[in-house]
Structure 1
Amino acid sequence: MEYSTIWWLIAGVLVIAELLTGTFYLLMMALGAVAGAASAHLGMSNHTQIIVAAVLAAGAVLVCYLVRKRRPARLPATGNRDVNMDVGETVMVEHWNPDGTAQVRYRGATWTVIGRPGGLPASGMHRVAEVIGNRLLVDKI
């Protein structure tokens, strides 16, 4: 069996493994195997094929890692304005209960609001910071 065929089989196995696991880094390793196959087609020695595949795979994994690390962390869906239209809206809290909750009218329904832990409950306007289940976590404006 030709070495290029072995490299193509390795690349195929890595792509299938990526599809089963969802690990993007396996695609980068498959790129290294494709480079190994290309170097085998060019008639390079076995050691050179392995070095080319390893360098390209390691470089692609490193670039992928660095790009992901530089991206800002995603907000959880409960506090992300792009996912939840209630985040950032304002509500009027007139009275806080002794347990740290309050009832407010918002969007035509009665909602339970809770304040941030450690904050003192005060009546007035509050901004919705997160939606946790069916409760609104609010910050005093």
Structure 2
Amino acid sequence: MTPTLWLIGALLALMAEFMSGTFYLLVIAVALAAGGIASLLGGSEALCWTLASLGGMAGVLAVSRWRKRQPAAPQPSKAVLDDPDIGQLVRVISRIDSQNLRVHYRGTEWQARAEDASTLAAGDSAAIAGRDGNVLLLTTSSKESR
């Protein structure tokens, strides 16, 4: 195979990697480029295929091990993904105690709980971060005053 074909294959694999974002296609592109460089330097076809194969196998093994060491991203529960209330703003009506509030949302009053309800006063707004049954869980980090 000519060096041009090896390098065109490497370029195509690299373009596919840019579109998909996988490191495995990047490994294949580097392996094909190694075969192309070997061919360019006058190596036999068997040597080019051997270098590309060994480079690809070593690269895939390295990426596989690297991915196993990465911490798994926490997956949100299905309830959080399907809840249209997450991120909506509520208006604080009154404070019940140090963590519990009475809020106005969707035309009615709800009980809500915030980590630090002491920073919220009547008339303030807070975002819904989740639910515990019918109790809205609020976040005060994106609090806005009304």
TM-score (norm 1): 0.58
Note if 1:136 corresponds to 2:114.
no
Counting matched residue pairs gives: 104
CA–CA separation in structure 1 for the residues paired with 2:8 and 2:137: 53
Is it true that 1:61 corresponds to 2:60 in the alignment?
yes
- 2:2 is matched with 3
Q: Kindly provide the amino acid, as one letter, of the partner of residue 53 in structure 2.
A: A
| Maintained 8 Å contact 2:31/2:52 | yes
Report the Cα distance in structure 2 between the residues aligned to 1:27 and 1:3, rounded to whole angstroms: 21
Shift of 1:92: 1.0
Larger-gyration structure (1/2)? 2
Q: Structure 1: where are the runs of 5+ without partners?
A: 79-90, 96-100, 122-134
Return the match for 2:99 from 81, 92, 98: 92
Query: Per-residue deviation at 1:94?
Result: 7.1
Q: CA deviation at 1:136?
A: 2.6
Deviation at 1:114? 3.1
Unaligned 5+ runs, structure 2: 78-97, 103-109, 139-146
Could you report, residue by residue, the CA deviation over 1:14-63 in whole angstroms, capped at 9, with x for unpaired residues? 01111222222101100001110111122221111111101101211110
Matches within 5 A, 1:1-141: 3-76=2-75, 92-93=99-100, 102-104=111-113, 106=117, 107=120, 108-109=124-125, 114-115=131-132, 135-136=136-137
- Between Structure 1 and Structure 2, which shows a larger proportion of strand residues? 2
**Residues 76-133 of structure 1 deviation map (CA, whole Å, 9 limit, x = unaligned):** 479xxxxxxxxxxxx71379xxxxx842464533666633x8xxx9xxxxxxxxxxxx
Query: 1:103 touches 1:110 (CA, 8 Å); kept in 2?
Result: no
What's the Cα RMSD here?
Answer: 3.4
CA distance in 1, matches of 2:37, 2:113: 66
The alignment-based identity, stated in percent, is: 26
